Structure 1
Amino acid sequence: MAKPVVVNLPHSLGREEAHRRLETGFVRIREQIAGKAMAVEEQWEGDRLHFRMSGLGQSITGRLDVLEDAVRIEVDLPWLLATIADKVRGRIAKEGKLLLERK
């Protein structure tokens, strides 16, 4: 059973600029992960991103919602990774902040 991890990242960029930075950042992440035994799929529907990362027999799915003053990230961890949910939450928050800060 998947364990959801939820991270809320406040920002003052506005919805459009936050969306642009996240979209650009996800392209960079996908390029970095490609060829490292991980596959990354993403699909934007308006201001919602559906994503999936899989490799080594594990699959992580999630959703990212870009709001006017925050980004809400929900990641479904497989049971094997659920034991490190707090570490994953911290990493998501750190990387998310970096993506929003980059121009």
Structure 2
Amino acid sequence: MRVTLPHTLGKDEVRRRMHKHASEIGSFFPAGLASVTTDWPSEDRMSINAQVMGQSIPGGVEVRDNEVVIEMDLPLMLSVMKGPLEAAVKQQAGRLLAP
């Protein structure tokens, strides 16, 4: 799954908001379904690992000058969640990136 969201905030502000709200990523999944951990291996890249129904879903967020790219490698078993997950990511991350 790959979602690209445009922004006009500048990389520093996007990173600040991502750091502040990283703990909310688990709420993108239906209540109680996911346990999510995050890490920042580089200044512009946040790694995400979600544990959902016994499955590990790796992913990440890349902060670019004018957009944020969110990727998650959904296993086949969870691919049925792709549409609702993309919609939740667009809504929640879009709210986070609003000026």
Shift of 1:49: 0.5
Gaps of 5+ in 1: none
Report the count of equivalent residues. Answer: 95
- Tell me the amino acid that sits aligned with residue 85 of structure 1: K
Match of 1:26 in 2: 22
Gaps of 5+ in 2: none
Q: TM-score, normalised by structure 2?
A: 0.81
Shift of 1:59: 1.9
Query: Would you identify which runs of 4 or more consecutive aligned residues in structure 1 move more than 6 Å?
Result: none
1:7 paired to 2:9: no
C-alpha RMSD of the superposition: 2.2
Give the 5 Å matches for 1:82-101: 82-101=79-98
Give the % identical residues.
31
Shift of 1:28: 4.0
SS in 2 for 1:77: coil
Q: Check conservation: 1:47, 1:65, Cα contact below 8 A.
A: yes
